[in-house]
Structure 1
Amino acid sequence: MKAGMIQAVNELAGLNHLHAAGHICVLKDAFMYESAAEIANLTSSDKFDAALAIHLYKGGRLLQGSRIPFGIIFGGTDVNEDIKCKEKRQVMGAVLERARFAVAFTVEMKELAAAEWPDARKKIYVQSQGIKTAPSETFDWYRFLQNAEINAGPVHLFLLVCGLRRVKDPLYLVEAFSEWHRKDPSVHLGIIGPAVDPLFTSEVKERVKRAPGVHVLQELPQQELHAALRSCLALVNSSISEGMSAAVLEAMDLEVPVLARNIPGNAAIIKHQETGLLFSTPQEFVLLSKSLMNDPILEKEIVTRAKEYVEKHHSWEGERKTYQSLVQRLQ
């Protein structure tokens, strides 16, 4: 089967799962298209058999009127944020009505969607993200710091990994972190990820220029990013809204401490002071970061339990079986 994968993000693990089952997959970024007609022309001319969209609104809206069967994978923004907009909600409802199946990362996400669209409940499946990390063995940490213009010496680097767009709120901690850096020059915050929103990316870079100790870093291939994570002090998530953060789960798998904003999507996978640390204000982030730096026993306990959690609840093989099974519904 030849399937089109329409997504609103830069990467999709499910693509590997479908390739492994023998399907021919073509990955398309939803931001490259403005209308459903463009996708209809694409799927018709290239003779696609089915489609799978990421994000009920961003990807799903492009499948309105599609002649081929399709499935939907919820993101975080769709059921957490887009659902608040009447126009987007109507589009999402129409897309979900026609979808053969939908996938939510958590039971909570499924219930949010089912409360809005009760008739779709039976076609919504819950499958958490499967995680598989493979850090590069040749990654040069010191060159990475040099490229980031971080001086040699004691360095405690916190990495905030996200696509640069407003919902990820990468500027949330900048002022408080820069103030902390002025008192302790060893601490640095690196913001790293694709420029999803070019205008906002420019805003982030301009703000960071005036914030000592905070850096916008060059995007890295996944294996090098995993190696950088493994060498940093902690992974940071400051999003306003999340479905299920792959970066958080990858850090947990790599036995890197996680400090995440206390929002439903993060709290669904992190137990405070057990598998990570949750903060509600920038000031609380700084306090928790200091406690993590000064308490190696706490750090060891957190990363050990987080690793166990990921191995138990975020199986790569389990995710593969689910998607390979669901795609049969598109044939």
Structure 2
Amino acid sequence: MRVLLASPNFHQPRGNTVTVQRIANSLEKLAVDTEIISTTDKEWTTLPEADIVHGFHAYHFYKFIQKLDKMPNPYMVTITGTDLNHDLFDEHKREDVFASLKGAKAIHVFDDKAREVISNELSEVEDKIFTIAQGNSDFPIEKSPLEKGENTFLFVLPAGIRKVKNVPEAVEMMSKLHDKFPSVRLWLVGPIIEEQEGKAVEELVRQHDWIEYLGQVTHSSMGAIYQSADAVLNTSHTEGQSSAIIEAMGYGLPVLVSNNSGNRNIVTHHRTGFVYKTPNEFLDYGEQIINNNEIKQKIGQQAKQYIADHHSSSYEADHFLKIYESILS
């Protein structure tokens, strides 16, 4: 079987890129021949030969296939995050999302909440929606791109710099935490995706000598960064299912995440991490992570076990293969 995986912005280290590469690697272990193309980095008119095309991000994928000489048949779609939380409800994009989903032989979502949202908006596709949670990534042994300072407590925020990731508020909240705990350090990791937001974040970083902006790093470097970290943050306004949070939990790290449906789907408050609703809660939970080593270790171990139980990359690949075989039969 040959599967073509089509992802937007594949050559940037974003969540979709991590997801698609992990799936391709896992499918290859099942003797599935895969090829990955980017739907946004070049103009395509004809697709490479494949038995099935698997598109990621319903809106971007539909705009991509509209420009082809021949529409792919069959294809399936994975709903990622922005297409679920924004494009589906954008009056200028909604019909394209619908068309993408109607034409798909199967629709993949990361959790049952996403399934419910899509079913409510477009009931006719309900029978072809499949829920498969994101798998976890394996990392090689590498040296961290930056050395963690001695006697410091390091928070890491992995995020492409764009408004939905809410990085300026993260810096503001972390500044208050640093005022109380001067040993606190913050690493921001991810490419600048929106130029204006990038300028704003870079200016904030210049104002604080305890913050480092590592910029774009290879995904293989993230394992070493997680090993350096004491805790990992996600401050996004909305999320699909954050691969970075899954990875951090897989390393047994406590995570402190904003209260959105994607984060809540992975993180159970005070069991596998901390979910904050307000800046004051962020500070309170951040202080608990710093001050209470017993809680930090207990939550980290429970997070690690949860990921092992629910986010297996082999389980993910097995179920994709079953869907592909079902479509082709």
Q: Same fold (TM over 0.5)?
A: yes
> What residue is the counterpart of 2:71 in the other structure?
66
Shift in CA distance, 31/197, structure 1 to aligned 2, threshold 3 Å: farther
Q: Deviations over 1:263-290 (max 9, x none)?
A: 1111111111111011122332122111
> What residue is the counterpart of 2:277 in the other structure?
280
- 1:40-189 equivalence runs, <5 A: 41-43=45-47, 46-64=48-66, 66-134=71-139, 136=141, 138-140=142-144, 144-145=146-147, 152-189=149-186
Single out whichever of 256-265 and 284-293 deviates more from structure 2: 284-293
Give the distance between the partners of 1:123 and 1:322, measured in 2 at CA.
14
Shift of 1:92: 0.7
The answer as to whether partners of 1:161 and 1:193 remain within 8 angstroms in 2 is yes
Give the distance between the partners of 1:20 and 1:297, measured in 2 at CA.
39
> What residue is the counterpart of 1:227 in the other structure?
224
The secondary structure found in structure 1 opposite 2:80 is: coil
Shift of 1:301: 1.4
The answer as to whether partners of 1:54 and 1:60 remain within 8 angstroms in 2 is no
The secondary structure found in structure 2 opposite 1:226 is: helix
Single out whichever of 116-125 and 217-226 deviates more from structure 2: 217-226
One-letter code aligned to 1:6:
A
Shift of 1:57: 1.1
Give the distance between the partners of 2:73 and 2:33, measured in 1 at CA.
15
1:29 aligns with 2:38: yes
The answer as to whether partners of 2:5 and 2:55 remain within 8 angstroms in 1 is yes
Give the distance between the partners of 2:260 and 2:74, measured in 1 at CA.
34
Shift of 1:212: 4.1
Shift of 1:299: 1.0
Give unmatched runs, 5+ long, in structure 2: 9-15
The answer as to whether partners of 1:63 and 1:95 remain within 8 angstroms in 2 is no
Shift of 1:232: 1.0
Give the distance between the partners of 1:58 and 1:206, measured in 2 at CA.
31
1:10 aligns with 2:10: no
% identical aligned pairs: 27
The answer as to whether partners of 1:159 and 1:189 remain within 8 angstroms in 2 is yes
Count of residues in Structure 1 that have an aligned counterpart in Structure 2? 316
One-letter code aligned to 2:95:
Q
One-letter code aligned to 1:100:
K
Q: Deviations over 1:38-75 (max 9, x none)?
A: 43x131xx434432111111233312461432110111
Single out whichever of 230-239 and 181-190 deviates more from structure 2: 181-190
The secondary structure found in structure 1 opposite 2:4 is: strand
Give the distance between the partners of 1:24 and 1:323, measured in 2 at CA.
13
**Cα RMSD, aligned residues only:** 2.1
Shift in CA distance, 120/42, structure 1 to aligned 2, threshold 3 Å: same
The secondary structure found in structure 1 opposite 2:99 is: helix
The secondary structure found in structure 1 opposite 2:266 is: coil
Single out whichever of 80-89 and 196-205 deviates more from structure 2: 196-205
Single out whichever of 119-128 and 175-184 deviates more from structure 2: 175-184
Give unmatched runs, 5+ long, in structure 1: none
Shift of 1:201: 2.3
Give the distance between the partners of 1:135 and 1:303, measured in 2 at CA.
21
The answer as to whether partners of 1:178 and 1:214 remain within 8 angstroms in 2 is no
> What residue is the counterpart of 2:258 in the other structure?
261
The secondary structure found in structure 1 opposite 2:283 is: helix
The answer as to whether partners of 2:140 and 2:223 remain within 8 angstroms in 1 is yes
Q: TM-score, normalised by structure 2?
A: 0.89
> What residue is the counterpart of 2:11 in the other structure?
none
> What residue is the counterpart of 1:308 in the other structure?
305
